[in-house]
Amino acid sequence: MLGLSALAKPGFVLKPAHDDAPQTGRWCVGGPALLEPGTPWPETSRGFPLSLVAVVDTDELVPWLGEQLPTRLGLVNVF
């Protein structure tokens, strides 16, 4: 029997940078989406535009997640 602990995955908390810390621009909550050129803005099935929640640079997660990351690294827009 497989225990619940075998299903556990690492978790992360995104925190804003301190005012005196250099901002890298590699994580963003809200703001503009960073879509590939020519990519249409995502919509609901009824044609309403989705709201952007965050932009995450998965390259920054490599030291912690390694093989658990998708094969294509880069920016992920969360809608």
What confidence tens digit (pLDDT) does each residue in 2-36 have?
A: 678 777 776 766 666 666 665 555 667 777 777 87
Cα(77)–Cα(28) distance, integer angstroms: 9
State which residues form the domain around 68: 25-35+46-79
The number of folded domains in the chain is 1
Structural domain includes residue 1 = no
Q: For the whole prediction, is pTM greater than 0.85?
A: no
Structural domain includes residue 66 = yes
Of 43 and 54, the one with more pLDDT: 43
Strand ranges of the sheet holding 75-78, from the earlier edge strand across to the other edge: 27-29, 54-57, 75-78
DSSP 5: G
Burial track 46-66 (b if 16+ CB lie within 10 A, e otherwise)? eeeeeebeebbbeeebeeeee
Structural domain includes residue 2 = no
Structural domain includes residue 64 = yes
Q: Are 27 and 14 in contact (CB under 8 A)?
A: yes
pLDDT at 49 over 80: yes
